[in-house]
Structure 1
Amino acid sequence: MDRADAELLLTSEALTLLDGLPPYRATDNVVQAVSALRDRGVSPEMTRVVLRQRRLRAQAKPKFGDFAARMFFTEIGLQQATRLDVAAHHAARFRALGDITVGDLGCGIGGDALALAGLGLCVVAIDRDESTAAIATYNLAPFDNASVEQGDAESVDLSRFGALWFDPARRSKDKRLSNPADWSPSLEWVFDVATRIPSGIKLSPAIAHDLLPDRVEAQWVEDSGDTVECVVWTGALARPNVARSALILGAESAELTASEPDSGVETGEIGAYVYDPSGAVIRAQLLGTLARQLGANTIASSIAYLSSNKFIHTPFAQAFKVIDIVPLDIRAITQYCRDAGIGTLEIKKRGVDIDPATFRTKLKLKGSASATLILTRAGDGRVAIVAERVR
């Protein structure tokens, strides 16, 4: 968002117009929406700004719930913003350190700062982009214990902070920045600062393990089935003897921890049950820890499915009861589904180059039965495991 758009948005006229607009729907006729505002004498620039903001608020609702209706967003800021329930988890770590002032360096639209301020912590949110800082100022206005500054994180006086939160900007306009040196602030600088001041550093869940420093806690977080982030915790924010953790948030919250990466698992046969581990567990390289809890093995080298003959409930994996095993051959599977009367089929896959949607179309399913089909490698071959979910 450029400065001119931000200045338009942060006016009483824009707020009044937004409050008077009907809820956004993806099927809305954009031409009609524009014409309705223009017929009321609204300028083209203001029309564009408020209609875009209405759309962003609707898109933000899964992350911010009802709060989204009273917040402002930028395209990039919303893409990188932390979900509110995940931000609350972050804030709880900082709250445990006591009454400190937290510096949120690279605050974006202020999602994490909102959670920190909501727990009563003093927070100074800093962003180098003028328009983004203005948006964050609006979003944090209800909190007297939160302030916003525009500035470069790498030039800020850090001595006033008891702890730091970093969410390095990994996008530039519509482009994702793959080189950590290009992030803002740069990852090298962030990790250096984090050795001196307790810090939480939000990174992509796909971050390479060899980029992570030693003597930190790296926590992968899954929220409502999505692996959303890796957070590196340092200093007093990190827990003793925890180097890797996988946190599952949701109706059944749980956490798997280890003092070091633990991904080694023996390969064995397909048993009575197959487990599909959480993405957070896989990303955290804790497959070995989970396998021991379940008494399970993998069914092929480098494939993350686990299997055992005993069912053990776990929040760290989806469980499937094995019904049958057939060759991974379209004709064999088509015949099997026809004979079993399978008309509804969930298809999962690992380690095979197959598009599930295209594969399902080729099966020409008919019938009232349902099943799950797991397409994968087992041993040295490829198989299709017919299974049913264990609820």
Structure 2
Amino acid sequence: MNDPLASFAALRTDEGRALLASVRNVEPSQELAVATRLRRDHPAGLVSAALAQARLRQRAVVKFGAADAARMFFTPGGVEQSTRTSVATHRARRLRGLGTDGVRSVADLCCGVGGDAIAFARAGISVLAVDRDPLTCAVARANAEALGLADLIEVREADVTDVDTSPYDAVFVDPARRGGRGRIFDPEAYSPPLSWAVETARKAPRAALKVAPGIPHDVVPEEAEAEWISDGGDVKEAVLWFGTDTPAAHRATLLPGGDSLVSARAAMLPDPAVRPVGRYLYEPDGAVIRAHLVAEVAARVGGGLIDETIAYVTSDTAVSTPYATAYEITDQLPFNVKRLKALLREREVGILTVKKRGSAVEPEELRRKVKPRGAGSATVFLTRVAGAPTMLVGRPR
């Protein structure tokens, strides 16, 4: 089958579903033998499509969870570009609560395979999901049906720039940020461009625009709230919000706990002063760093920076904060591999965590050179202190 739509339709027949169920747990090393066996009784194209879909479902588990991924359908680009369920759920719940009466309908523009539409529907929001690719729309429609959400999700094949969004309480736009050569970093090279998405958002009562976490701060609209979201310590995305009760602000949200640090842009604190390394080192969450809220964390822990260009905060006191991981520092050394190796051998450190910020040395390279052995554990920070290459040794508080 050379027609992608026909191949996908065949997967949804009784024969296709049975094949999908039979290859659900096939490992890559087993695919050739399994394909050879199945082709005796099934069309070769259908067998190939089933095996490819099984691989996509296996890859999708990390984003959608095993239960949903096993029932959903995917395209290769759809798996790559879909929002992780935890992030989509956070965003959907926040959108649902905006305004006096809450958001009850949303136009999801550039919906992809429907990951965000599913989260919106599960939050009780009626969704118009729009994409211009016929196969993507077919997959999104199938996913709404597979998860029992077809009554809340209407999938429409159209160019998003032609869609009238005025009947909806909110607009959500997820522009394509990948091209033939990989990720796109220029917001105006998104498809559609960020400028179009912003103008569309400004016309809606409420809006959320999904953008790359590395978006330059100077392209964030003045009235928008910019939220950076991390999940398990990894920064996943940024969202530009319109119509919230915190306009012109920066926010860092940490999942799965949901802690949120927010500051109006006009009230953001200046960079903390540089000070000597104290007893504790605080490593701010990536979302905090992206949101330029390191100074707010430093104020909470009563600390300063170890270097004016490095986002490590140091303090003499231990303060619990969800926005940074605290380490107790035991040693401060100028960068010297031999001295570090001797120190780790003396303390019988075999479990070594290496972190770097402002250093060209790769953690694995350092691990190979120091050859840690023993039952003890330690964390080494390769960084700069007041401009000088430095190694800080410590342990999580």
Classify the TM-score, shorter chain: over 0.9
Structure 1 unaligned blocks of 5 or more:
none
Alignment-derived partner of residue 253 in structure 1: 258
Deviation at 1:173, TM superposition (A): 5.3
Deviation at 1:7, TM superposition (A): 3.2
Alignment-derived partner of residue 279 in structure 1: 286
Structure-2 change in CA distance of 1:379 and 1:174 (3 Å): closer
Alignment-derived partner of residue 232 in structure 1: 240
Alignment-derived partner of residue 244 in structure 1: 250
Structure-2 change in CA distance of 1:24 and 1:296 (3 Å): farther
CA distance in 1, matches of 2:336, 2:92: 50
CA distance in 1, matches of 2:31, 2:5: 24
Deviation at 1:146, TM superposition (A): 1.2
Give a deviation string over 1:126-175, Cα, whole Å, max 9, x none: 00111001100001122212110001100112222221011111123563
The answer as to whether partners of 1:200 and 1:233 remain within 8 angstroms in 2 is yes
TM-score (norm 2): 0.93
CA distance in 1, matches of 2:356, 2:247: 35
Deviation at 1:225, TM superposition (A): 1.8
The answer as to whether partners of 2:327 and 2:396 remain within 8 angstroms in 1 is yes
The answer as to whether partners of 1:128 and 1:150 remain within 8 angstroms in 2 is yes
Q: Secondary structure at the match of 1:28?
A: helix
Q: Report the residue type matching 1:16 in the other structure.
A: A
CA distance in 2, matches of 1:176, 1:9: 30
Say whether 1:217 aligns with 2:225.
Answer: yes
Structure-2 change in CA distance of 1:241 and 1:173 (3 Å): closer
Alignment-derived partner of residue 347 in structure 1: 354
Alignment-derived partner of residue 133 in structure 2: 129
The answer as to whether partners of 1:272 and 1:322 remain within 8 angstroms in 2 is yes
Deviation at 1:80, TM superposition (A): 1.2
Alignment-derived partner of residue 313 in structure 1: 320
CA distance in 2, matches of 1:212, 1:168: 15
Q: Secondary structure at the match of 2:346?
A: helix
Q: Secondary structure at the match of 1:131?
A: helix
CA distance in 1, matches of 2:153, 2:241: 22
Q: Report the residue type matching 1:18 in the other structure.
A: L
**Deviation larger for 94-103 or 354-363:** 94-103
Q: Secondary structure at the match of 2:53?
A: helix
Q: Report the residue type matching 2:144 in the other structure.
A: L
**Deviation larger for 368-377 or 94-103:** 94-103
Alignment-derived partner of residue 83 in structure 1: 84
Deviation at 1:241, TM superposition (A): 5.2
**Deviation larger for 64-73 or 79-88:** 79-88
Say whether 1:170 aligns with 2:177.
Answer: yes
CA distance in 1, matches of 2:387, 2:154: 59
Q: Secondary structure at the match of 2:166?
A: helix
CA distance in 2, matches of 1:132, 1:149: 10
CA distance in 2, matches of 1:205, 1:182: 16
CA distance in 2, matches of 1:225, 1:15: 37
CA distance in 1, matches of 2:359, 2:26: 40
Give a deviation string over 1:165-207, Cα, whole Å, max 9, x none: 1111112356323333332222110011111112101111111
The answer as to whether partners of 1:84 and 1:115 remain within 8 angstroms in 2 is yes
Deviation at 1:242, TM superposition (A): 5.7
Q: Secondary structure at the match of 1:325?
A: strand
Deviation at 1:43, TM superposition (A): 2.2
Say whether 1:190 aligns with 2:197.
Answer: yes
Q: Report the residue type matching 2:141 in the other structure.
A: T
Structure 2 unaligned blocks of 5 or more:
none
The aligned length equals: 385
CA distance in 2, matches of 1:382, 1:200: 42
Deviation at 1:262, TM superposition (A): 4.3
Identity %: 36
The answer as to whether partners of 1:24 and 1:58 remain within 8 angstroms in 2 is no
Aligned mate of 1:14, from 10, 16, 37: 16
Say whether 1:338 aligns with 2:345.
Answer: yes
CA distance in 1, matches of 2:13, 2:155: 19
CA distance in 2, matches of 1:154, 1:10: 31
Q: Secondary structure at the match of 1:30?
A: helix
Structure-2 change in CA distance of 1:358 and 1:173 (3 Å): same
Structure-2 change in CA distance of 1:274 and 1:356 (3 Å): same
Q: Secondary structure at the match of 2:262?
A: strand
CA distance in 2, matches of 1:246, 1:361: 36
Aligned mate of 2:298, from 261, 279, 291: 291
CA distance in 2, matches of 1:315, 1:99: 29
**Deviation above 4 Å: which 4+ runs of structure 1?**
none
Deviation at 1:219, TM superposition (A): 0.4
**Deviation larger for 339-348 or 272-281:** 339-348
